Structure 1
Amino acid sequence: MTGRHDRGSHAATRAPELRRRVAVEAARLMTEGGLRDYRQAKLKAAERLGIFDELSLPKNSEIEEALREHQRLFRGDDQTRTLRRLREVAREAMRFFSDHEPRLVGAVLEGTADAHSAVCLHLYSDQPNNVIAHLREHGIPYEEQTRRLRVDRASARDFPVLLFSADDAAIDITLLPYDLLRQAPLDRISEKPMQRASLGALEILLESR
């Protein structure tokens, strides 16, 4: 007869395998289906696989690792070209917003960007309307939203977001006050300060690839 301890041990042994399966499927959905939200992707992946145990849901870091692996295996040169094109778009956008200390963040910087990815920038200004005026002066249509970011482990704040398109790429700008320039908001995956790149750092990255 199988005891409760044996059943528990079996479940514990299967959990990493199930998390891996969900992570791989979530990565596929993000790459091929255009899903951007890690939680949405892993819940949809788990549903497709018939896995409903919370312990079998992967961490965001596990999905990110599976995403990189999927891109290496199935995208190859296409992903490399797409990433470079988006980084070049980011460079032009950062030059356009050079007065506002632009920083590149997200998948385009980290190297996991695909054809569905937006170029995500943080701009720093104590007068957000100046950024909006800059877009209007150049006749660039945009959409306004808000985004909640964790500024530290104890607090989160809402910040203005501007969305528009340039060179067939989506541009996603978060407007932050100057006092946050020294300390990046926390990454939603690692809960550490976000990886950021200045225009100079991005240009070095483009030259090295």
Structure 2
Amino acid sequence: MKHQDMRRRIAHAAARILAEDGSLDYGSAKRKAARQLGAPDSGNLPDNQQIEEALRSYQAIYQTDETRAQLTLLRQTAIEYMEQLVDFDPHLTGSVLNGTAGPHADINLQLFTDHQKDVEFLLMRLPAAYQAGEYRASDTPGRIYPRFMIDDPRARLDLVVYPASELRNMKRLQADGSPRRLRLPQVRTLI
């Protein structure tokens, strides 16, 4: 019982950190929260689903109007980019999809194409600056995927480009049954 209470306290502290700062990922936020609460051992750390639930609660209490407006802006921005990237089967994922995006959230898009170089050619024609990099997925060790960060004034976009064939091998649902990613038609229904 003591461990469950500490996990709950860490989850709520991590949610507050994420909501107020927004620059940390779930793992960093829960470790920071554990240190603040004097429980640095990993046996007490909540899972990401517990943190997401605590973040939703925090936002519902303290950031209702602000969160809704920010989320709408982020989703509209995501739709604009997904429309421009439609040839690469874009999927929205992350906090903008699940509704927990805060003021510093990135828009995460996954692209699926067998013509990965064409993505960069398209990005060169867009007005917003971008940076190219690499993404190493934790669930596929040894695999490296092209990654592009777009510095749009409304929000930063994080694009990861996968081969088209990898989509059917990826998990479709989160542990709570919600979708991990959505295509453009489904994202439009979120607005």
TM-score, structure 2 as length reference: 0.90
Q: 2:161 aligns with which of 175, 179, 190?
A: 175
Aligned CA-pair RMSD: 2.3
Query: Secondary structure of the equivalent of 1:205?
Result: coil
Are the aligned partners of 2:77 and 2:154 in contact in 1 as well (CA < 8 Å)?
Answer: no
Asked if residue 197 in structure 1 is aligned to residue 182 in structure 2, the reply is yes
| Structure 1: distance between partners of 2:120 and 2:30 | 35
| Structure 1: distance between partners of 2:166 and 2:16 | 35
C-alpha distance 201-156 of structure 1, shift in aligned 2 (>3 A): farther
**How high is the sequence identity, in percent, across the aligned residues?**
33
Matches within 5 A, 1:1-209: 13-150=1-138, 157-184=143-170, 190=175, 195-206=180-191
Q: C-alpha deviations, 1:12-67, integer Å up to 9, x for none?
A: x2111111111111111111112332111111111111113322211121111111
Runs (5+) with no aligned partner, structure 1: 1-12
Structure number with greater Rg is 1
TM-score, structure 1 as length reference: 0.83
Give the paired residue count: 191
Partner of 1:3: none
Deviation at 1:150, TM superposition (A): 4.9
| Structure 1: distance between partners of 2:133 and 2:34 | 30
C-alpha distance 193-114 of structure 1, shift in aligned 2 (>3 A): closer
| Structure 1: distance between partners of 2:142 and 2:106 | 23
| Structure 2: distance between partners of 1:111 and 1:94 | 18
| Structure 2: distance between partners of 1:97 and 1:137 | 12
Opposite residue 136 of structure 2, the aligned amino acid is R
Are the aligned partners of 2:23 and 2:105 in contact in 1 as well (CA < 8 Å)?
Answer: no
